[in-house]
Amino acid sequence: MNFVRKQPNEEFPVSIDFGAELALGEFIASAAVTVRNVATGVDSGAAIKEGPESIAGSVVTQGIRGGATGERHILTMLATTSLGNKWEDEISITITEV
């Protein structure tokens, strides 16, 4: 799992590179990104995601924003490949005002 620390007002992209999992000639055909609040277990995508995810080669990127100090969210990226394989990875996002 990857870890990101951000302040509530920051907005920036986070990415996961699935290249090590892809076979020669295989590519990411689609991706889905979900976010949940660790404390409540509730979907927090509407508050944390900034725009849609994007795919560039083997990398899936999602903009993030918002959150309140002390919150922790788990952002999950599910990549589906041209060969029908599915790869999933997470980013732990901790919101901290510095």
29 CB-near residues (< 8 Å, 6+ apart): 80, 81, 82
Q: What is the pLDDT of residue 53?
A: 98
Give the chain's mean pLDDT. Answer: 97
Phi/psi-derived region of residue 83, left when phi > 0, alpha when psi is between -120 and 50, beta in every other case: alpha
> CATH number for the domain including 86?
2.60.40.1220
- Its domain, for residue 55, covers 2-95
* Tens-digit pLDDT profile for residues 71-98: 999 999 999 999 999 999 999 999 999 8
Average pLDDT over residues 62-73: 97
Number of domains in the chain: 1
